[in-house]
Amino acid sequence: MKSHSEFGWFLNTSEIKMGGSSVLGENYVAFYIIHVVAMCVLITSVISCVAVISSILWGIWKARCHDQMRKRSRMDFADRFPFYIALGDGLWGISHLADHVYLVTTQHFPYTQAATNLFSLNVWIFGAYQQLMHVGLAIYTYLRIVRGVDINLGTAEWKLHATSAVLIIIPIAIFFPLDAYGLSGYWVFLNINATAGSVFGFYIAVAGAAHALGTTIAYLQIKGIVERQKQVLKERRKMVNKKSDRNSTASECLTTFVAISVFLYCPLPILNFAFAVETMFGVIEPITVTLTVIAANSSGWVNALGYFHNLRIKAARERRVKAEKLTMVTATTSNGESSSRLSVSS
């Protein structure tokens, strides 16, 4: 086995073993930088998710107070989807934060297979759910806006969640018996010292690349149609009813999250592939790991920015609708007064 000095900047994956030191190569600088950066990003993401969920629940409570529950129940996918995203990001953040905190505080890898499996499966389940929500959103938005197909996902989008659950369980059924889940050096997810773990790592990189490519293509087509739709509405505002305006706003809000998916998941497959190649040769490169923990753990706060951006879009639409109503009332009143004066004169 090669020593840390023989690898130089790279860290030796053969040091990764159950119950062993989590400070690879005794490189405390890399150890603390990677874990502190990861935990800071994760904590920011979890707080952002709490803010989004609180905002959504506050909106529901306000609707109840104003006796608008019938209207609330008709809110479309664009209104409910931020809740699913925030919930997935929050659960992912908490589960992944747990293994980082454990590795930092104990400075050892888990001592038992049960603990290792618990950390690994938590990271996989919530991380996969998070990405599948974005995949579902991209497909739904593409079919709705580009193809004009409105998919019935069932009450509370149960079909989407059921499909996601199946796609999460299948890799577990395949790779778990092959000992693919385990220790990854700076987190607990894949057993990078096992062949099955390396294969699973490449599978995740390829699946992520397909996700990023498909989402990017969908986004470019969706964005073109939404921009044309906005232009038409701008030119024919007086001829478009409130429902059309609302549908345009919903499409724009969905497009925001698709754009975020492109931003988040295009860099990640490249980093995952680089990490898989490095570990295949028995080494870990600290900069790759640092960039990976930033890219993989930023979804919570980035999606929160998208959610609050969409709130501003919706608020602008409401102000525009109110202004148009006020203009119509004023015009009607003025016409009525003019007619009354003409009647009196005659």
pLDDT at 243 over 90: no
Q: Stretch 238-244: mean pLDDT, rounded?
A: 49
Strand partners, 108: 21
pLDDT digits (tens, 9 = 90+) for 152-211: 888 778 888 999 999 999 999 999 999 999 999 999 999 999 999 999 999 999 999 998
3-state secondary structure (DSSP) of residue 189: strand
Enter the DSSP assignment of 309.
Answer: H
What's the domain count of the chain?
Answer: 1
User: Is residue 233's pLDDT more than 80?
Assistant: no
Tell me: pLDDT of 56 over 60. Answer: yes
Determine the average pLDDT of the residues in 293-322. Answer: 84
Per-residue model confidence as pLDDT tens digits over 74-86: 455 556 778 888 9
Per-residue pLDDT, 1: 41
Domain that residue 196 falls in: 4-327
- Could you tell me if 124 and 188 are in contact, meaning their C-beta atoms sit under 8 angstroms apart? no
What amino acid occupies position 39? M
Res. 319: pLDDT tops 80: no
Q: What is the pLDDT of residues 90-112, one digit of tens each?
A: 999 999 999 999 999 999 999 99
Q: Say if 8 falls within a structural domain.
A: yes
CATH of the domain at 304: 1.20.1070.10
pLDDT recorded at residue 5: 42
Average pLDDT, the chain: 83
Q: Do the domain assignments include residue 335?
A: no
pLDDT of residue 93: 94
What is the separation, in whole angstroms, between the first and last Cα of the chain?
A: 108
Provide the token pair at 115. Answer: 């603990």
φ/ψ of residue 63, rounded to 5: -65, -40
Q: Is the model's pLDDT at 114 over the cut of 60?
A: yes
pLDDT for 334 equals 60
Look at residue 325 in the predicted model and tell me its pLDDT. 64
Please write the tens of the pLDDT for every residue from 263-286. 888 899 999 999 999 999 999 999
Q: What is the tens place of the pLDDT at every residue in 120-129? A: 999 999 999 9
Within 10 angstroms of residue 19's Cβ, the number of other Cβ atoms is 10
Indicate the pairing of strand 188-190 with strand 181-183.
antiparallel
Q: Is residue 79 part of a domain?
A: yes
Encoded tokens for 222:
């969706």
Cα 107-109-111 angle, rounded to 5 deg:
120
Residue 342 lies in a domain: no
CA distance 181 to 175: 7
Average pLDDT over residues 48-66: 84
pLDDT at residue 335 in the model: 58
Assigned domain for 282 exists: yes
Q: Do the domain assignments include residue 343?
A: no
In sequence order, the β-bridge partners of residue 189 are 182
Q: Residue 281 phi/psi, 5° resolution?
A: -95, 10
Range name among 26-30, 223-227, 231-235 with the lowest pLDDT average = 231-235
* Domain assignment of residue 296, yes or no: yes
What is the pLDDT at residue 69? 47
The secondary structure of the chain in percent helix, strand, coil, rounded to multiples of 5, reads 80, 5, 15
Query: pLDDT (tens digit, 9 = 90+) per residue, 6-25?
Result: 456 789 999 999 999 999 99
Say which residue the tokens 């062949």 belong to. Answer: 195
- What per-residue confidence (pLDDT) applies to 346? 54
Candidates 78, 86, 89; CA nearest to 57 is 86
Helix (H, G, I), strand (E, B) or coil at 109: coil
Give the residue from 251, 204, 221, 205 showing the smallest Cα distance to 79.
251
Residue 16 domain-assigned? yes
